[in-house]
Amino acid sequence: MAWFGKQSEERGGNLPAATGVPVLAVASLDVFYGHAHALQGVSLSLERGVLGIVGRNGMGKTTLCNAITGMVPARGSVRLAGEEVLGMAPHEITRRGIAYVPQGRRVWPSLSVDETLRLVARKRREVDRVYAMFPRLAERRGNGGAQLSGGEQQMLAIGRALLLEPRLLVMDEPTEGLAPVIVDQVAQALRELAAEGRIAVLLIEQNLGVAMSVADRIGVMVNGRIAQEMPTSQLAADRELQERLLGVRSGGEQADEEAPSAEAAAGEARTQVFTVRRAHAESGAPSLDKVAPAAVRGFNRWNAGGTAAPVADIARAPVLAEVPPAAATPAPTSAAPAPRVYEFPVAATSLRSAYVTGTFDTKGRELNYLRQSLEKLGLRVVTVDLSTSGKPSSASVHPREVARHHPQGEAAVFSNDRGNAMTAMAQAFEAFLLTRRDLGGIISAGGSGGTSLATRGMRALPIGVPKVMVSTMASGDTRPYVGPSDICMMYSVTDVQGIHRISELVLSNAANALAGMIAHPPIASTTASRPALGLTMFGVTTPCVQHVTHRLESEYDCLVFHATGVGGQSMEKLADSGLVAGVIDVSTTEVADEIVGGVLSAGPGRMDVFARHALPYVGSCGALDMVNFGAWNTVPERFKGRNLYRHNPSVTLMRTTAEECRQIGEFIAAKLNAMRGPVRFLIPEQGVSAIDRQGQPFFDAQADKLLFDTIQSQFRAGPQRSLQRLPLHINDEAFADALVAAWREIAQPMAAGRRAG
């Protein structure tokens, strides 16, 4: 059945002739949700046919679809038949020839099947083609979208997209949640489309069997990246490769801690084995009808480079081709013990509540399970809905109430752009939390989007407030979510979808953890009698900081932070929370990475906390002679001709130039001038790091002098603000003594004021 006859150019037309220009070319695509880097330099090319992208939930597959179709802001390049479409509005991209079948179908509930199709089609015969492709839709043509089954809605969504006469069809999880017989029908429809060769298809699919039976090539997505791309035949014929890349065993098992719920075992196991068996049969692999018991070995996470830690062998029951219904739910062996109810102090029950937050439209069952678990333990619970779908909410706090805390009001949150809506809701949630006087602790559960939403608010809370995030992202790089905060990230093991034997364990443990934190606040530290003092240290400034702490540790609780980006952020987070009395900021090296483009930047807000709080500040130029990169081969090409120093196999340093030093000096002077408290800034004229002295690889007197002169010329002195240039090296003991003396000079009046009060 051919979909394309003579088509108008504005609707896309046929695929271009073989000219070497791919239908879809994606290059260096990046997407951010707040601080979360969801897509990380994704590149792929689809000349024609079907490209399947597989991967677990939370890996960025839906974000890739949304970026290609203009639903979320992105950086990089997306070309359709050679034309750049990135940055166009979604409707313009659709006109150019990209049709989208989104995850979750998204059919209009109030329109009938026939009305939906006629709304898109230009001629009646095009609707008849859809009915010929999906006879079930013809039978249900008078039913509204809300009256259709999941499979019927999926057929309608595919037919709706085909009526747009696209060059490229983007399909996100088309078989999600469908019964096996419907999965087979949808897969057959995709194979027919691929056989016609008139439409290229980008297929996002978790069902490996479907992906392998339809796609020409398979790309594996892990943590926002395309980890590997290969011909489908190569993946289908290599069961060991499937296990290594995807965690899928030949018996339909996944080599991680996932286990299906007892209630879903019959249906899900049958579906999984059915689809994988078919793919293996087509590739000539041995039959999977009889599967021997297996054990899980080796890596237990989806990862591109085998970075997951090995786990002990876990005995796994066999997954059979047919699961008897009677075996789906084992009889309980004993009654579950009654939950312990904590004896909370009055403040914990009436003034301190456990906040359960998240997107209740998609994670309502899981979030309500957390609520019930916490209530059984005796806590007062407040539920906060962060959904942006506009659906009715059962939470204590409606999403519109949260959205009103956005600087531009709730209209900024409830927009038609999902990516912008999520970013705006996260901003509103951050402001909302800071107004809550009864918050004793906070917990959430979700995938990448939900984690980005919830953790932005968590990061705004002071250090010490209990924060627990159950997330599919907790087994990867958690820095975008945790940042400088004390968020406890707990890996969900399975996707946060449904209540079953695994999710019950994980969510119960998370609820118990939060309850324990609220019920048992930290005992006063033995160092609490001494004021806390923050210091920043880098490897090349270690002698200086050690000298300073040795001289002050009897009077102050010295908290030393490694200036690796997060280190500086963490110190300033404590300052924002009122947990330090002041800082001796020896190592401001993170500023160099921010200005030049290194990997250890603390962001453009470094040092801004001292403009918000009148804390005493003593600073210096520690390690401003260097910019940080990873291993030698990770240094950007534009820097390969610079003065580079191999600090160790994992760290490469680059000497800052005179011009870069001038920019760094301007940045630091502006920050110093904005500070509200007493300021002392000391400049070591003989060098700012262990490798910046006479005879060392980073010694550059001219660059250092321009750095020092820029700071001094732009620094605004005053009664409580001074700058000193000392003929010393930063690691000289005399320079450490000068830092200590400067600190005592500005800290003594503060201490005297506290004693008088």
- pLDDT tens, residue by residue, 443-499: 999 988 889 899 999 998 988 899 999 998 888 778 888 888 889 999 998 888 888
Q: What share of the chain is helix, strand, coil (3-state, %, to 5)?
A: 40, 20, 40
231: in domain: yes
Least confident range from 252-261, 397-406, 511-520, 679-688: namely 252-261
The CA dihedral of 580, 582, 588, 590, to the nearest 10 degrees, is 30
296: in domain: no
Residue 601 in this model has a pLDDT that exceeds 50: yes
Does 693 share its domain with 585? yes
- Distance separating alpha carbons of residues 158 and 373, to the nearest angstrom: 41
Residue 283 in this model has a pLDDT that exceeds 60: no
Tokens describing residue 132: 């010929």
316: in domain: no
Residue 711 in this model has a pLDDT that exceeds 90: yes
Backbone dihedral angles phi then psi of residue 217, each to the nearest 5 degrees: -135, 155
Residue in 215, 205, 203, 159 with CA at minimum distance from that of residue 178? 205
Specify the length of the chain in residues.
757
- What would the DSSP string read from start to end of 619-660? E--TTTTEEEESSGGGS-GGGTTS-EEEEETTEEEEEPPHHH
- Distance separating alpha carbons of residues 223 and 55, to the nearest angstrom: 9
Does 579 share its domain with 506? no
Among 495, 519, 543, the domain-final residue is 519
| 573-589 average pLDDT score | 91
Q: Which amino acid is at 524?
A: A
Write the CA distances from 68 to 160, 194, 217, 559, integer angstroms. Answer: 19, 20, 19, 46
How many CB atoms neighbour CB 39 within 10 A?
A: 27
Is the CB of residue 301 less than 8 Å from the CB of residue 312?
Answer: no
Write the CA distances from 568 to 147, 330, 517, integer angstroms. Answer: 55, 53, 26
Percent of the chain with pLDDT over 70: 79
Does 512 share its domain with 539? no
Beta-carbon contacts of residue 700 (< 8 Å; ≥ 6 apart): 625, 655, 658, 692
- Distance separating alpha carbons of residues 405 and 414, to the nearest angstrom: 13
127: in domain: yes
Percent of the chain with pLDDT over 90: 41
Among 472, 489, 519, the domain-final residue is 519
Helix (H, G, I), strand (E, B) or coil at 83: strand
| 260-288 average pLDDT score | 35
CATH at 24? 3.40.50.300
| 655-669 average pLDDT score | 97
| 326-336 average pLDDT score | 39
The reported pLDDT for the residue numbered 752 is 52
CATH at 672? 3.40.50.12030
Helix (H, G, I), strand (E, B) or coil at 50: strand
The reported pLDDT for the residue numbered 111 is 85
Radius of gyration in angstroms for the set of CA atoms belonging to the chain, rounded to a whole number: 30
The reported pLDDT for the residue numbered 469 is 95
Tokens describing residue 427: 């901003």
Residue 580 in this model has a pLDDT that exceeds 80: yes
pLDDT tens for each residue of 90-127: 999 999 999 998 876 677 777 888 888 888 887 778 88
Does 21 share its domain with 125? yes
Strand 225-231 relative to strand 217-222, pairing: antiparallel
Number of alpha carbons in the 13 Å side-chain half-sphere of residue 511? 28
Is the CB of residue 3 less than 8 Å from the CB of residue 132?
Answer: no
Is the CB of residue 144 less than 8 Å from the CB of residue 110?
Answer: yes
Among 477, 496, 519, the domain-final residue is 519
618: in domain: yes
Does 659 share its domain with 633? yes
Specify the number of domains making up the chain.
3
Is the CB of residue 48 less than 8 Å from the CB of residue 210?
Answer: no
Q: Which amino acid is at 635?
A: V
Does 473 share its domain with 579? no
Tokens describing residue 335: 């009654």
Does 366 share its domain with 444? yes
Q: How far apart are the first and last CA of the chain?
A: 86
Residue 674 in this model has a pLDDT that exceeds 80: yes
Does 352 share its domain with 465? yes
Number of alpha helices (DSSP H) and beta strands (DSSP E) in the chain: 25, 26
Is the CB of residue 613 less than 8 Å from the CB of residue 653?
Answer: no
CATH at 506? 3.40.50.12020
The domain in which residue 377 lies consists of 346-519
Does 18 share its domain with 86? yes
Does 564 share its domain with 667? yes
211: in domain: yes
Report the Cα 688 to chain-centroid distance in Å: 36
Beta-carbon contacts of residue 688 (< 8 Å; ≥ 6 apart): 620, 621, 622, 623, 624, 625, 704, 707, 730
525: in domain: no
- Distance separating alpha carbons of residues 165 and 162, to the nearest angstrom: 5
Does 591 share its domain with 698? yes
Does 94 share its domain with 194? yes
pLDDT tens for each residue of 193-247: 767 767 888 998 877 778 888 888 899 888 888 988 889 888 888 777 777 666 5
Residue in 709, 700, 634, 702 with CA at minimum distance from that of residue 664? 709
